[in-house]
Amino acid sequence: MAIDMHAHWVPRRLISESKAGREWYGWRILQDGAGREYASLGQHMLLFSASQGTLDDPMDRAKRREAEDGITFEALMLTGLFWNYHLPEDAAIRACREVNEEVAEVQKAYPERYCGMALLPMQHGKAALDELEYAASKLNLRTIAIASNVRNLNLDEPSVLSVIEEAAKMGVSICVHPTILGKAADARLPRYSFANSFGAPLESSIAAMSLVYSGVFDRHPDARVMFTQGGGWIHFGVGRLDQRYTTRPDGHPMKHRPADFLKQMYFDCLVHDDLSLELLAKRATTDRIMLGTDFPASGGILGGAVNWIEKFGPFSEEDKNKILTKNAERFLNLKKG
């Protein structure tokens, strides 16, 4: 068994409305003359193969993913483009309820293949808390997906942190994914795919350390929080954070140096090279790494994430089993048997 903790999906109404020439909460999927798909929002146009990520036929998708990628179970995270943090409150509530009910239907119909991550209107705190309660209690979605920043607010901002704290109190797992639009340093990264190759890990790094410095892991030591891109650059650069924690102790609300918290968080394996994966395992331990593919986007491991982990020499068979299956079972609180 291999559980994909970083697998995306696309709402059915986004596709159907686009085909009808209409917008879905401002978004449309367009095609150029060569048949390439683009996601469009106002002046933003991003190359994205949306039709590959639908849940129109969940079992067909599951069979294809098993045959092509070795994936036997997916934790479904809505593609980060469509989290709709730009929307006003009423529209944001409708959009979240729509996608949560869709992914909950798939989870209920195919529990051996899928579980869903709930989407919250994080830009509207009270509404986000209401949707968290509804998704967890009514839809049985026990994991939420949130962006690395909410309208340029870091995750330690009170309006954002209060939702994360409530999820932790409820025992709901939390997956943090870089925002697609509005990443740190976007203006400096216009070429060479730097917006993704630099920007996404940078967003994951800031998000992870914003939560560490908020003290949330002291207040909720059992909180289950995963960061994609292996947590970004923090495993290489945490020594500098520790140095500032030691030499400038004022204003640090957490009880320990930043490096101590790396073993308290979870990370996907998307670091893309052997030395980085070894460092991630040394910093966080193999108890905290989970499989991720970024399907159907282009950020996955060349040759396949499952294949990489299965053939990774420094890992024992026990390590591989943890990363492929056991850690995700614990994180998602999947019932065995």
Distance CA 292, CA 290 (A): 7
Measured over the CA atoms of residue 13, residue 119, residue 40 and residue 229, the dihedral's sign is negative
| 42 belongs to a structural domain | no
Find the mean pLDDT for residues 276-288.
Answer: 98
Q: In the beta sheet, which residues pair with residue 271? A: none
Would you say 236 and 278 are in contact if contact means Cβ atoms under 8 Å apart? no
Overall number of domains in the chain: 1
pLDDT tens-digit profile of 87-98? 999 999 999 999
Domain carrying residue 69: 3-11+55-332
Residue 148: closest CA among 101, 108, 180: 180
State the average pLDDT over residues 186-196.
Answer: 90
> In this predicted model, what pLDDT tens digit does every residue of 129-145 receive, in sequence order?
999 999 999 999 999 99
- The answer to whether residue 143 is domain-embedded is yes
**Does 282 reside within a domain?**
yes
Do the domain assignments include residue 34?
no
- Domain CATH number, residue 252: 3.20.20.140
The pLDDT of residue 250: 79
Contacts of 332 (CB under 8 A, 6+ apart): 3, 75, 115, 142, 143, 173
Q: Which residues of 27-55 are buried (b: 16+ CB within 10 A; e: fewer)?
A: bbbeeeeeeebbbbbeeeeeebebeebbb
pLDDT at 249: 77
Q: Are 100 and 144 in contact (CB under 8 A)?
A: no
The residues pairing with 74 across neighbouring beta strands, listed in sequence order, are 4, 114
Provide mean pLDDT across the span 296-316: 93
Q: How confident is the model at residue 191 (pLDDT cuts 50, 70, 90)?
A: very high
| Tens of pLDDT, residues 212-232 | 999 999 999 999 999 999 999
| Per-residue confidence (pLDDT) for residue 336, from 0 to 100 | 58
pLDDT of residue 1 exceeding 50: yes
Distance CA 208, CA 193 (A): 23
Given this model, what pLDDT does residue 4 score?
98
- Return the pLDDT at 298: 79
Is 216 a member of any domain? yes
- pLDDT of 337 reads 44
The one-character DSSP state at 297 is S
| Confidence tier at 175 by pLDDT (50, 70, 90) | very high
Report the distance separating Cα 308 and Cα 305, nearest Å.
5
Of all residues in the chain, the percent with pLDDT exceeding 90 is 86
pLDDT at 240 over 90: yes
